Chain A
């Protein structure tokens, strides 16, 4: 099956700094990448949808300037949490549809802790 590689798996940063999370499609071209956030013991919350070569579409309530998404190539999408605050601490995960059916393939997830 298709593979989505997400890095870093864990990151700890100081409040006010920016953190970049990368998702790469290793064996397929990901024209679309979905970015999610997950709070403890909660389900996935779709944050935004990125499409290669165009601006990301953000879900209602998600700050575009806080969560910068770039999808500059067919194999790489990035999420940058800018000026991170402790409330941004969360599990962030990406997924991309692949194949004829558009089955979803997920990255391993990134656990962000902002001190």
Chain B
């Protein structure tokens, strides 16, 4: 049983499309993180959320604590957004989703 479920696992989009990646979790959390991992392996923290919504440029992250669900949205997607996006929650320890592999085609 996975404490964190992400969907979709793989996603291919045309440049400019609006993209949504979903994350559902089953444990009580203190925070939820959205991470981006590029092909070289480096990981960047995009957002840390405990409630509501955050926006950085073309990226928007939302969380619904009652429904135990978070979404990561990318507006006007670009090929450089191609990466694996990982949802992680902190509930004492960390639990990680299996990641969503995004490919944006020019």
A106 touches B44 (CB 8 A): yes
Interface of B is mostly: strand
A67 contacts the other chain (CB 8 A): no
B42 to chain A, nearest CB (A): 5
Docked CA distance A105–B44 (Å): 7
Interfacial residues, chain A to chain B (CB-CB below 8 A): 34, 38, 42-46, 49, 59, 91, 93, 95, 101-106, 108-109, 111
A43 touches B97 (CB 8 A): yes
Interfacial residues, chain B to chain A (CB-CB below 8 A): 31, 33, 35, 41-45, 48, 86, 88, 93-94, 96-99
B41 touches A108 (CB 8 A): yes
Interface of A is mostly: strand
For residue B45, which residues in chain A have a CB less than 8 angstroms away from its CB? 103-106
Docked CA distance A3–B41 (Å): 16
A102 touches B43 (CB 8 A): no
Given A93-B43, A109-B42, are A103 and B97 neighbors across the interface (CB < 8 Å)? no
A104 touches B96 (CB 8 A): no
Q: A44-B96, A102-B48, A106-B45 are in contact. List 16 more A-B contacts (CB 8 A).
A: A34-B94, A38-B41, A42-B98, A42-B99, A43-B96, A43-B98, A46-B94, A49-B93, A93-B43, A95-B43, A102-B31, A103-B33, A103-B48, A109-B41, A109-B43, A111-B41
For residue A108, which residues in chain B have a CB less than 8 angstroms away from its CB? 41-42
- What residue in chain B is nearest A111 (Cβ atoms)? B41
For residue B31, which residues in chain A have a CB less than 8 angstroms away from its CB? 101-102
17 contacts between A and B (CB under 8 A): A43-B86, A43-B98, A44-B88, A46-B93, A91-B41, A93-B41, A103-B33, A104-B33, A104-B35, A104-B45, A104-B48, A106-B35, A106-B43, A108-B41, A108-B42, A109-B42, A109-B43
Docked CA distance A106–B40 (Å): 13
Docked CA distance A34–B45 (Å): 14
